[in-house]
Amino acid sequence: MDNAEKTRRELPTAAALDVARVLISEDEIAERVGVLARLIEADYRSSGKKLVLLGILKGSVVFMAELMKQLRLPVEIDFMKVSSYGGGTTSSGSVTILLDLKRNDISDCDILIVEDIIDSGRTLSYLVDYLKLKGAASVKTVTLLDKPSRRVVDFEPDYRGFEIPDEFVVGYGLDYDEKYRALPFVGVLKPEFCEK
């Protein structure tokens, strides 16, 4: 039994029992986030603008917390909420802003959008254009997970944690119908717990 599997079995939460397989362990994520943090520091260190980590609610919160702890740069944080998923495991195809970014200093801000996962690419492609139009000094994206095989629009993140295959994943912030966000790893659900 590897460490990830051990964690899954030992978790005192019933949610972990719904997971068929751990795809990425907590330790692997922490290590990879460290690498991303070093890349981000190098790119922003001499920018002269305010670096704003813009988390996309709710899926990004765990990744965002880990990233901001590991960044050795002054950062501010903000959040937006958008919906592109109507629930379940299929994309609805359009992006709606549910909570907007309200800052009057946006032209002084380097915005780094922090996302849990890129699937069709619609959410981030829309948000990057939206924030540029709002007048941000710069807009870049970092995603923990990326499913490139699912792209509907042409979109590449500036920083990515892990490329994963076309499987529906939960944990580390990601949900299925609002469940499983608190699992400390990224895993694949047993088929009986995610009906497509």
- Smallest distance, Å, CB 187 to ligand IMP? 10
- If one asks whether residue 59 binds Mg ion (CB under 5 A), the answer comes out as yes
| The entry of Mg ion, ligand IMP, none that residue 118 binds, CB within 5 to 8 Å by partner kind | ligand IMP
How many positions of this chain bind ligand IMP (CB under 6 A)?
Answer: 17
Q: How far is the CB of 191 from ligand IMP (least distance, A)?
A: 14
Closer of 154 and 178 to Mg ion (Cβ)? 178
Q: Does 193 bind ligand IMP (CB under 6 A)?
A: no
Contact 122, 93 (CB under 8 A): yes
SS3 label, residue 157: coil
Instruction: Establish if 122 lies at the interface with ligand IMP (CB under 6 A).
Output: yes
DSSP secondary structure, 75-126, as one string:
-EEEEEEEEEE-STTSEEEEEEEEE----S-GGGEEEEEEEEEESSSHHHHH
Q: What are the catalytic residues?
A: 119
Sheet holding 169-170, edge to edge: 19-24, 186-189, 169-170
- 60-119: contacts with ligand IMP (CB under 6 A): 84-85, 91, 115-119
> Rounded to the nearest 5 degrees, what angle is found at the Cα of 104, between the Cα atoms of 99 and 110?
85
Token pair 């042409």 is found at: 154
Q: Which residues bind ligand IMP (CB under 6 A)?
A: 59, 84-85, 91, 115-123, 168-170, 174
Q: Which residues bind Mg ion (CB under 5 A)?
A: 59
